[in-house]
Structure 1
């Protein structure tokens, strides 16, 4: 075989190798930190008062006076309702008089016992009489204790003739009228605390843990925004709605109790834009640059056309331009 034929054969043998050798695919790369977005999340919420009570009578009596009107602001201890206390004051005076009589009898019983003990030393009184005097004194002491308790109860009933505000608040409803009979358990004035308030929100269970890490939480109502800070995530999940209640406090200007709105925050976990997510072999994910090789990183929770949460270090190199041209293991050339 001459030299020319040998060269031709060598070229033929080398040709498949030259055709099969893949050229590196040009790509551009950015770190996850540069690409990360933190989408806004929101949940329904309501401003709630920590003290919202129906103040009612603890005794049965006629209403003499309703001292407040709906909308009135009251301070703790202010008079709300005055009841007719005539019968209870009479009972208090009767109990006090009975107690005074028992105390007078006690002094006489103490003297009789002292006298009986002196006579017993000279055997001028029987042992039976001495025991009788001791029993009389013991019985009177027990009677005085009982009447002391009865007087305390009667005095407490007299104090209950005036219903006073248990906290600072606003009167939101009157349920009684002058001349009506009030009874235990019947609310007469509804009082709401407008200072001790917080926001209650129902947050999807998967988002509740991320809310705690958000640096910017707000309550929105008809275009108004109020800054919030997280107080607590209730460790109970609603099995139907699959939500958890969170409680938040205002850190500045506050909305009124009863206001319904939305709580908004930025997810503390990084996301990537929907157009960076590609599909390979039925899976959605990102292409990462490992040296000069493209590696497919699946994102199991990703959804087509939506930003995807990424659990990777911030300095992870992500293939941006050229991602549609690569497969797992492709040789790449960074531009």
Structure 2
């Protein structure tokens, strides 16, 4: 999200601030004015200089062309023709230089009007009418209210289910906002073992600065990592298959993270004694109050 201190690009007295705190502005909308008299005077001077340089160019070109014609008739020395050619080249360079200065002067006049670099909300008026601004002086603080993202720290063990989620909701002030996962930064916060994730609003956007929490729904059942065991260099789970232990490999499983499985809701998972089980061992389900 853009949060910018919009600055002057030229030197001048601030002649007016056209926005107030809380105003919404569109990209390109004028937000402040600088006294432009000095820059307009310089622009007019550049235009006059260009007129003079172009007149000199026309004259030097005519002199060179006439000299070349006389030289072909042996009526002017080659040295004089070379001098006129040089004067013509200098005149062309002078016109090019003045045109470049004129473009800079035009840009300076355009920059007397400071415009919003993006659509947003004015958070602060930093400068005041009458202030002397130089290039880089902050005028207003502008916050982007369109390209808004949600930033959240996601625990390592929740990453898998978040990536598989078919619906993610940002809850703030008892309102629900649909969001989509844009990216998960590949840097772990070591103390919390969490990653920063960024989300985009799908429809309605929460106000900038809102706080809240995330909820998501995934597309299939997940089981706790405590059911995972190592067998034959792979991770998987044991289930009760008609009274015998059956090992099911889960290729994408990682220790310490919930794992999504494609099992029916009536499948019996084996927890107690799983570490010593082998495929085909007899097992018996025991009803308890805690499971």
Q: Does structure 1 residue 115 correspond to structure 2 residue 61?
A: no
Instruction: Provide runs of 4+ in structure 1 moved above 6 Å.
Output: none
- Higher RCO structure, 1 or 2 (CA under 8 Å, sep 6+): 1
Higher mean displacement: 231-240 or 214-223: 231-240
Match of 1:84 among 35, 38, 44: 35
Aligned to 1:46: none
What pairs up with 1:120-199 in 2 under 5 angstroms?
Answer: 120-199=71-150
Question: Hey, what's the Cα distance between the residues in 1 that align with 2:243 and 2:193?
Answer: 44
Question: Hey, what's the Cα distance between the residues in 2 that align with 1:217 and 1:261?
Answer: 13
Larger radius of gyration: 1
Distance verdict in 2 for CA 1:146–1:313, change over 3 Å:
same
Aligned to 2:263: 314
The root-mean-square deviation of aligned C-alpha atoms, in Å, is 3.3
Higher mean displacement: 153-162 or 285-294: 285-294
Aligned to 2:54: 103
Note if contact 1:211-1:268 (Cα within 8 Å) is conserved in structure 2.
no
Distance verdict in 2 for CA 1:115–1:314, change over 3 Å:
same
2:54 is paired with a residue of what secondary structure? helix
Aligned to 2:231: none
In the TM superposition, what is the alpha-carbon distance from 1:300 to its structure 2 partner? Answer: 9.4
In the TM superposition, what is the alpha-carbon distance from 1:64 to its structure 2 partner? Answer: 0.4
Question: Hey, what's the Cα distance between the residues in 1 that align with 2:70 and 2:47?
Answer: 35
Note if contact 2:220-2:261 (Cα within 8 Å) is conserved in structure 1.
no
What pairs up with 1:263-302 in 2 under 5 angstroms?
Answer: 263-266=214-217, 270-271=221-222, 288-294=239-245
Aligned to 1:38: none
Listed as ranges, the gaps of 5+ residues in structure 1 are 1-49, 278-284, 303-307
- TM-superposition CA deviations, 1:82-128 (whole Å, max 9, x none): 10111111111111111110110111111111111121122111111
Note if contact 1:211-1:267 (Cα within 8 Å) is conserved in structure 2.
yes
Distance verdict in 2 for CA 1:176–1:105, change over 3 Å:
same
Aligned to 1:232: 183
Aligned to 1:212: 163
In the TM superposition, what is the alpha-carbon distance from 1:310 to its structure 2 partner? Answer: 5.4
Question: Hey, what's the Cα distance between the residues in 2 that align with 1:196 and 1:300?
Answer: 35
User: What TM-score results when the alignment is normalised by the length of structure 1?
Assistant: 0.70
Question: Hey, what's the Cα distance between the residues in 2 that align with 1:312 and 1:255?
Answer: 35
Aligned to 2:16: 65
Question: Hey, what's the Cα distance between the residues in 2 that align with 1:212 and 1:319?
Answer: 24
Note if contact 1:68-1:171 (Cα within 8 Å) is conserved in structure 2.
yes
1:190 is paired with a residue of what secondary structure? strand
- TM-superposition CA deviations, 1:234-258 (whole Å, max 9, x none): 3343445433222212223321011
Note if contact 2:220-2:262 (Cα within 8 Å) is conserved in structure 1.
no
Question: Hey, what's the Cα distance between the residues in 2 that align with 1:241 and 1:273?
Answer: 20
In the TM superposition, what is the alpha-carbon distance from 1:264 to its structure 2 partner? Answer: 1.8
Distance verdict in 2 for CA 1:332–1:264, change over 3 Å:
closer
